[in-house]
Amino acid sequence: MRSRVMQESVVGLLFLIGLGVLGLALIWLRGNLFAGQTYEVTITLADAPGLVVGTPVRYRGVRVGSISDVQVGPMGIIAKAKLRDVIIPRDAIPEVRQSGFVGSSFLDFRQVVAVADLPENLSPVSADCDPTIIICNGKKIQGRTGKSLDDLITAANAIADSLDQSQLIENTNSAITKVATAAENVNRLSADARVQLREFSTAARSVTQAANQVTSLVEVNKGTLTTTLNTLSASGQELKLVLGNLSPFLNRLEKSTVLADLEALLKNGSQAAANLNTISGTLSNPAVMFSLAQTLDAARATFINTQKITNDLVKLSGDQELQEDLRRLIRGLSRLFSSSLELEQQLLALTQQSQVSATPPASTHHPNQPALAPNTAHRDAEIVVPPQPVNATAPPPDPEPSPLLSPNPS
C-alpha cells in the first residue's frame, strides 16, 4: 500500500517537472523562434515618471518592445529597451509619455522629420549596421520626458496661484456689477426711446391729419381754383388775340418812315443846337449872318419833318380797328390782374390754414407717462374758406381815350 502511494507520488512529481520544463521551453521558443531576433538600446533620460521594467516601447503607435532594465543615478536615468528586429531611423527621438486617465507610462519613438528612402537589406543586429542611418544594437540614445499628469496638475496649481495674486475674482465681480449697471441704463434708455417714439407717432398723426385737412380744403375749393384757372386761360387767349392784332400795326410802324423822320429830326435838332452855340459864341464874327442863314435852313427842315410825323400819327390814330384792339388789350390785362389777385388771396388762406393745422400741440406730460391724444376741438372748429366769386363776364369801365390816340378834330 505504501509502495503504491510512493509510486503515484513519484509519477505526479515527474509530471509536474515535465510541465515546468515544457513551459520553459515554450518561453524560450517564444523569445527566439517566434519573435525573431531582438536587439537592445540604451536610453538616457533626465526624468522618467512611471518608467519601470516591462514598460512598453512603441514606434509610430505600435508596440515594438519593452523596458528590460532601469537604473537611477545622480546624472539621470539609464533605461535599457529590448526591441524586436524593427528598423527605426536615427532621427527618431525616444520620449516618455503617459496616456489615459490613470497615467500609464510608455516609451515612444517619435519621428521628428520626414524619413527619406532607406537602403535595402538593413538590419540593426548586423555587424555592418550604419548608426548614422538607423538605430543599431547597443546604441546609446538621449531621450526626453514628455508632459505628464503631474505636470498638468502643477500647471493648474500655478494658474490658480496667479489668479489669486491677480485678483481675477474681484475684477470679475466688478465687471459683473458694471454689466448689471449698464443693463439697467440700457433699460432706462429703451424706456425713454419708447416715450420718444410715442411722441413721434403723435406728431406723425398730427401731420397726417393736417395733410388730410389740406386735401379736403383743396377739394372744397376745387371749383374756385378751376374757375380762376379758366379765367386766366381765357385772359391769356384774349391777350394772345390782341397781340396778334397788334402785329400788323407794329409791322406797319416798322415799315413806315416815322422812325427815319424821327432820326432825321434828332440830327437836325443836334445841328441846330450846335449852330446856336456857334452863334452865341461868335456874335462879333463877320460870318454871323451866314451862320444864321444855316440855322434857319435847319429849323425849316426840322419843322417839315415834324409836320410829316404829325400827319403819320394822325393817320394811325384815326384807325378805328386799332383803337378797338387796344381797348380789348386793356380789358384783358385788367381781368388777368384781378384774377391773379384773387388766386393769390386764396393760396395765402390755404397756406395759413395748413400751417395752423400742421402745428402739433405742445407736449406737457411726464416722460414716463403715455402721450395724450391731440386736442380735436380745434380741428372740429376749422372753417373752410368759401370760394370767391369771380366776375369773368363784367368788363371793367372803358379807360379814357388817350389824347394822342384820339382823332384830330380838325
- In tens digits, the chain (410 residues) has pLDDT values of 677 778 888 888 888 999 999 988 887 776 554 455 788 999 999 888 888 999 999 998 889 999 999 999 888 899 999 998 888 888 888 998 887 667 788 899 988 777 777 787 888 888 888 888 888 998 899 988 887 777 778 888 888 777 666 666 777 888 899 999 999 999 989 888 989 888 988 998 889 888 888 888 877 777 787 888 888 888 888 888 887 877 777 777 666 666 677 777 788 878 877 777 766 666 556 565 677 677 777 777 887 888 788 777 767 666 777 777 778 888 877 887 787 778 777 777 777 776 666 555 544 444 444 443 344 333 433 334 444 444 433 444 444 443 333 344 33
Q: Tell me the three cell numbers of residue 38.
A: 531582438
Buried b (16+ CB within 10 A) or exposed e, 238-251: bbeebeebeeeeee
pLDDT score recorded for residue 391: 42
Length of the chain measured in residues: 410
Q: Report the 10 Å Cβ neighbour count for 290.
A: 10
72: left (phi over 0), alpha (psi -120 to 50) or beta: beta
State the maximum Cα–Cα separation within the chain, in Å, rounded to a whole number.
210
pLDDT at 254: 65
CA distance 123 to 222: 113
Q: How far is residue 258 CA from its own chain's centroid?
A: 73
**pTM for the structure as a whole:** 0.35
Name the grid cell of 328: 380789348
Q: Which of 153, 58, 144 is nearest to 93 (CA)?
A: 144
Q: Which residues fall within 8 angstroms of residue 148, CB to CB, at 6 or more apart?
A: 49, 50, 97, 98, 103, 105
Is the Cβ–Cβ distance between 39 and 79 less than 8 Å?
no
pLDDT for 169 equals 72
Count Cβ atoms below 10 Å from residue 348 Cβ, excluding itself: 11
Rounded Cα distance between 116 and 54, Å, is 32
> What whole-number distance in Å separates Cα of residue 111 and Cα of residue 91?
7
State the pLDDT at residue 32: 53
E-strand stretches of 174-227: none
All three cell numbers of 9, joined, read 507520488
